[in-house]
Amino acid sequence: MTDQHRLTCQVLVAGGGMAGVCCALAAARCGADVILCQDRPVLGGNASSEVRMHMVGASPSGSLDRGEPLVTEPREGGIIEQIRLESSVRNPQRSASMFDLILYETCRAEPNLRLMLNTFVTDVVTSDAVITEVMAQRPGTEDQFRIRPTLVVDCTGDGRIGAESGASFMEGREGASDFNESLAPATADPGRLGSSILLTARRHDRPMPFVAPSWSRRFTREQLRKRLYATPGEERPSLEYGFWWVESGGLTDTIKNNEQIRDHLLPIVMGIWDHIKNGPPGVSEWDDPFDAAHWALDWFGFVPGKRESRRFRGLHVLTQDDIAMSRQASDAIAYGGWPLDLHPPAGIDAAELAPCHQHPVPHLYDISLSSCISRDVVNLMFAGRNISATHVAFSSTRVMATCAAIGQGVGTAAALAFSRGLLPADAACNATIMHEIQQRLLRDDAFLIGVQNTDPEDLARDARVSASSQAKQGAAEQVIDGQTRSVHGPCGAPPARVEAGTHRWMSNPAVPLPAWIQLEWECPVAVGLIQLVFDTGLHRHLTLTHHDGYAEKMQWGRPQEETVRDYVIQLRNGTRWTHEMRVQGNHQRRRVHRIEPPVLATALRINVLATNGIAEARICEIRVYE
């Protein structure tokens, strides 16, 4: 018998992929009462154990990589950085299920967030272009929910809430003249990026035969020439994790035909592995160029990793020129940097075409709040791959770490708009509110191009800074210069919007630790909260991957070497150092220390005792609040 439940919340987030997780956490941490509905048993979407795609974002790999130490640090900060750092330390075995657990724990630990797994959003009620109720079902427990939210964020990817509410959306590829996009086809068509099913394999100590199912597809070498076979000078594809180019469904409706797409992809996956293990049709003696004799399948997905379906029409539609020209957005709430990454809609069946054409983005670019607000439904917002963007622009914004950054931006904006009694569109065009949203994002360690900390409540900004020592590029005063990373190098922020520098204190590496940095005030201030932002090597890749070669580019399975490990916080009022706090074993970038009740102090000192590897202490930012 089905039970009926009535729930209320200030912000309803539908969809528990990386965009939805970061959106819900951000809104809850900003004080909103949040419900997160996820239709799967685990969080993470395409990053979860059900699909196992690694999260990429503003720092592409290979020849397109823009990371350089102390010069260009594009890796996303904020909530997604917290999750990545936690997963690196607690998940050295690179387990997909362990990553599920970390996401689950993080959401469950947030007191303002109600997590509802296995709960499907099915319908909405609207009145005068306002969503008044959202219906959801949990079939496994025979429960139905009528949720009354004030604001709704659709992070479902497919845009279920938006579609049910009547919000306008786009599908397929726009024509070149529609938005003046040189990378778009000459005329609009229904083609889109397809879906993929991934696999993992393991090498054994003996030969492992593979008998392909009778329904497997058979592939010739020519059919896989542009995908599986390396060209001279390239490495062969990895066998332990593959293959993103097993793509299909881009010529059909990826929502309505998702079951058929899975049934089409599974024979492809089996056929690819059969080709690797046993050779193409008609080959009697396979010379095993992949050295695959000892390899066996360990896992393959049954949930297609979907790339594209609906894209909603927002107050602004993000276009190719917005990204390629890095146009400044006054209402920026996130940034991107992945290439404009276009795939042939026919996927693997377009054997004569490369599986993708990646057009590098010259600089990091803004993603505006107006691209995340419905133009039709006044209390509806989006985060993730369904934001308001053309097909060409979407090909860059769709990647999961970028979606996570968008999620944090939208969740922060939703919570602050609610707290001010504003609708999202009113917040986006209100310069005062946008400044507050952006400042809160910076406080929570998100990065926005050209936006610096000007928080008047941050007492550190009025302090005099000194240190026991400092490196040539690491002046102590940089901990209060308003920026927490370097983006002045190649492919970093647009040159006209760059503040060059390392933007962190670095002690002199020739002087052994410990080292200290100190803030002093002329008159005593009430210190109730101290926030520290440490260096976590944002120039480097860091994300859960099952690809051994990609993992070797990271410091996975341990804290990042630049990060301060052990430190002591001291406060002084007059001549005595008091109120000592000791921290050992830190691996996170952002640490917040609360002092209750607040303590009057004329000086604050951070004594760095040890790092996780490098010789010098590094602190990117110190904030102090009453």
3-state secondary structure of 480: helix
Report the C-alpha gap between 454 and 491 in whole angstroms. 26
Report the C-alpha gap between 138 and 439 in whole angstroms. 38
For residues 368 and 409, is the Cβ–Cβ distance under 8 A? no
Instruction: Write out the H or E segment, with its range, that includes residue 88.
Output: helix 78-90
Whether 63 shows a pLDDT value over 80: the answer reads no
Identity of the amino acid at 92:
P
Whether 528 shows a pLDDT value over 70: the answer reads yes
pLDDT tens, residue by residue, 65-88? 899 999 999 999 999 999 999 999
3-state secondary structure of 19: helix
pLDDT score for 235: 66
Cα–Cα nearest to 23, from 175, 130, 156:
156
pLDDT score for 234: 62
Report the C-alpha gap between 446 and 78 in whole angstroms. 4
Cα–Cα nearest to 517, from 395, 607, 603, 448:
607
User: Domains along the chain?
Assistant: 3-54+64-169+370-435 (3.50.50.60), 195-300 (no CATH), 459-625 (2.60.120.260)
Whether 538 shows a pLDDT value over 80: the answer reads yes
Alpha carbon distance, N-terminus to C-terminus of the chain:
53
Give the ranges where 279-399 is alpha helix by DSSP (H): 320-324, 391-397
* pLDDT band at 232; cut points 50, 70, 90: low
* pLDDT band at 221; cut points 50, 70, 90: very high
Token pair in block for residue 596: 């209750």
Percentage of the residues of the chain whose pLDDT score is greater than 90: 94
pLDDT tens, residue by residue, 460-472? 999 999 999 999 9
Cα–Cα nearest to 408, from 155, 79, 159:
79
Query: Residue 396: phi, psi to the nearest 5?
Result: -100, -40
Kind of pairing, strands 34-37 and 113-116?
parallel
pTM: 0.97
Region of 326 (left: φ > 0; alpha: ψ -120 to 50; beta: rest) is: left
Between the CA of residue 24 and those of 33, 167, 547, what are the distances in Å?
10, 21, 29
Query: Residue 230: phi, psi to the nearest 5?
Result: -75, 145
User: pLDDT averaged over the chain?
Assistant: 96
Whether 57 shows a pLDDT value over 90: the answer reads yes
Region of 185 (left: φ > 0; alpha: ψ -120 to 50; beta: rest) is: beta
Around 68, how many Cα atoms within 13 Å sit in the side-chain half-sphere? 13
Identity of the amino acid at 559:
P
Identity of the amino acid at 248:
S
